[in-house]
Every structure is written in C-alpha cells, then in structure tokens.
Amino acid sequence: MHRLRRILFWVTPALTIFVVGFALFVVGAPRVQPIARLWGGPVSGTGPLIWRVEAAQWLEEREVPLAGTSLQVLWRVNGSEAARTLRLDDQGEAFVELPRPPLGQLHVEVSREDGQTLASGELGSVSASHWLGQARRRGGWIDGITRGELQIRVAAERGVLAVPFTETLLVEVRDQGKPSRGARVEAELDGTVPERVQQTTDAEGRAKLQVAPRHHVASLGLRACKAGTCGSFHCQLPVIPGALWASLKGSTLSIQSATPNERAQYTIIGEKGRVAAGQVQLRAERAGSHKARVHLPGLPQGPLWAVVGSESGLDSRSSVGWPLRPELSDEPFQTLDVPDRLLLDGRERARQAESRRQRLAQAIAIVAALAGFALMALLLLEGGRRAHRQIYEHLARAGASHPEELVSEKSTRSALAVGFLCLLLGFALIALIAVYRLG
C-alpha cells in the first residue's frame, strides 16, 4: 500500500498535466467545420426556387472552398418536401432549382452525402416586390451642360456602357418643348469608337448613335441645328469599369467579357421576380473577348434584365443588370442590379458546435485539475500523518522521554501547510497555461 501511495504521489501531477493538456490542446483545439450558405431571390411568389449554394471548410473565420463535394438541398413545409442533389465546382459553388413550395413556414437543410448537416433553418417570406425594391438602378437621361435655343437630352438606351461593347445612345432634340424633327445632330466623342457621328432626328425629335467605349472615361459633345436655331450638350458617358456585357437574341443569352475571365454568373429577372440563374464558362474568341451562350427556353413576356458579373453573388459595382428587351419602351431603360440575398448561413451552427465542444473540453480540464489537486492533497495529508507516527514510534523505541513534545503537531501542520501551498502553486501554473491557451 505504501508503494502504491508513492507511485500515485509522483504520477498524479504528470497525469493531471497530461489530461488537462489533452483536453485543452487536443479535444478543445479549434477544428475545421464544414459549412454551407444559401443565396437566392424571393422565397414567396411564383415559379421555381433557384438558389446558389456555396460550401467551405470553416476554421476561426477562415474559409477554404469545399470543392468537388456532393450536397443535398431539401425544403420541407406542411408535410411536403422536395430535394435535389448537386455537385460543387472548384470554387465550392453550385446552383440548384427546386419546385416552388406551398404556402407555409419553409424549412431548408443543406447536408453532405454522409448525412452531416452543413446548414439548416427557417426561411422568411421575401416577396418579389420587396426584393426588387432593394435593387440598384443606373441609367436614364444623363445630366450634362446644355446651351442654346434647342434643348438636348442624351441617354444610354440600356442604362450604361461597358468597354469595348457597342451600345446605342438616344438623343432627343426639342424646340420650345416640342420635338424638333429633321434637326442635324453632330456628335464628337472622346474615348469611344467612332469619334464623330452625324444623324438627323426623326418625327419624335430623336436620333440614335452607335458607340463603343474604348476607355472607362468617355465624354460626349453634341451640337444640333435646324433652320438656324442651334443647341449644344456636353456630358460624361456612364461607362462601368470591369462590367461584363449581356444581350438576348430569341431565347439565347450571350455573355461577353473584355478581360480573360474564366466564368460568369447570371440572374435573369422579370417583373415578377427571378426567372433563371446559373454559372457559365467563358471561352476565348478570336477578337480577344471571352464569350458564353446560354439557352433559356420558356422566358416570360415583358421586360427582362440579365444581371451578369464575374464575382459570386453579383454584389460588386461592376455587376450590371442589362435590360434585354429595350425595344419594349420608347424611353431609355435603367439597369436592374439585384445581388443575391443571403437566405441561410451555416456559420452560426458551426460556431455553436465549436463552442459546445470547447466548453465541454474546458469543463473536463477543470474537473481533472480539481481531481488531481484533491488526490495530491489527500496523499500529502496521509503522508504527513504517516511520517508523524513513524517518528513518534522511533523516538519511543529509542527511550526518549516525552516524545510527543519532540514531535509536535504544530510543526507537522506547518510542514503540511508548506506542502499544500507548493501544490496549489503548481496547479495554479496549470490553470494559467490553460487560460493563456484559451485566450
């Protein structure tokens, strides 16, 4: 028994340090957690749900795309459910289309093939009108400097321009508030092709100029005259740096980039919300641009916009929602730049799981430290008592008179107090190391 006590006396501190260190530095160490996010448009309305799913390995606010992984997206409402399986690309993203659910509280889960849930939660009801109301619109009649008796206005037919793609500028000439038919319009442009254009206004007092910006800063100077009455107009043209260009012919969407982008994302928007969305690979063309074509059957009638960009989420200043059917209105269209809306975020779920695991590890470390301290205290106390008895018995056998006076309990208690304090300092050091590690 004495030998066992000696072994425990020497092993307990080392074992306690090992258990506390293992709990804090191994079990409680930050771990990589797979997470998923769900991006999209209106949840309520008509038509299918088109979402963009992105997944990543998350570690202390750092993320690495979870590329090449298969995920399942499932919605459930009022006993009905629908699911789709998708495979993430090398950026950890994929688009998924599900049928529109019935009315009710919509619950969505994103999980891996092994059943591990990466994100789950209830989606709030977001109407198409509310979603479109948050859109960024650019374009319309351009502010400029007007001089002379004729009034001149200019607008980009599709809201803005992008290098180096050809767009139409609408020119309107009025005389005392009425359309000036047959006015001769001369345009001088800087930073575009061509640099000079001449046109004559139609019965509505309008003319169209085909221009392609060469630089991100371009300007326009106009002079219009009719029967000796003239006017002038000067402005900066609305060129969007880094913008991709989109147009629609029939049911085929064309997306072009002047720079070597490998991919592009697009969202087709109608008056009632999101119509289609996806991602395409851009291929180099002979002219130096990069292009992709997307077949979109079943597009609704009426105005449509294509929000295109090279960045995920279409939330940058270079993302443009190009009007696809400008012929439907005599007035210039504005762009409709609507970024994806974050519908579901698995980071909070990962944070909570990490927090629970680390708190459990800390609790185990505290229990281990207290148990080690208590065991060492008992061993020290028992060792002190045993030593006291042995000294007393030894003095008694040696024939010492009044051995109890030579071995006083006061001196024994003092020695035990010193031992306890040393023990406390040792375990306080363990606690400081744990606090430092957790901080």
**Rounded Cα–Cα distance for residues 274 and 418 (Å):** 76
Domain range for 41: 33-133
Together in a domain, 392 and 433:
yes
**Helix/strand/coil for 233:** strand
Tell whether 344 is covered by a domain: no
pLDDT category, 72, cuts 50, 70, 90?
very high
**For residue 371, what pLDDT is reported?**
73
Is the Cβ–Cβ distance between 141 and 332 less than 8 Å?
yes
Total domain count for the chain? 4
- Render pLDDT for 25-49 as a digit per residue (tens, 0 to 9): 777 778 888 999 999 887 766 667 8
Would you state the pLDDT for residue 174? 95
Q: Which is higher by pLDDT, 257 or 15?
A: 257
DSSP E strands: which ranges in 191-335?
A: 192-193, 196-200, 206-213, 219-226, 229-236, 245-249, 252-257, 263-270, 273-281, 283-284, 290-295, 305-309, 320-323
Q: What is the enclosing helix (H) or strand (E) of 259?
A: none
Same domain, 164 and 249: no
Q: Are residues 116 and 162 in the same domain?
A: no
**φ, ψ dihedrals at 324, nearest 5°:** -100, -20
Same domain, 320 and 255: yes
Q: Is the pLDDT of residue 288 over 80?
A: no
Q: Is residue 348 part of a domain?
A: no
Pair 59, 32: CB distance under 8 Å: yes
Return d(Cα 222, Cα 232) in angstroms, integer.
Answer: 5
> For residues 280 and 293, what is the distance between their CA atoms, to the nearest angstrom?
8
Measured from the Cβ of residue 222, the count of other Cβ atoms closer than 10 Å reads: 27
Domain's final residue, options 106, 133, 160:
133
Model pTM above 0.85: no
Instruction: Give per-residue pLDDT as tens, 160-196.
Output: 999 999 999 999 999 999 999 999 999 999 999 999 9
Rounded CA separation 44/128 (Å): 7
Residues 204 and 229 in one domain: yes
Q: Bigger pLDDT: 257 or 428?
A: 257
β pairing state of 167-175 and 252-257: unpaired
> Of 186, 213, 236, which residue is a domain's last?
236
Rounded CA gap, 374 and 427, in Å? 11
Whether the pLDDT of residue 425 is over 70: the answer is no
pLDDT of 390 > 50? The answer is yes
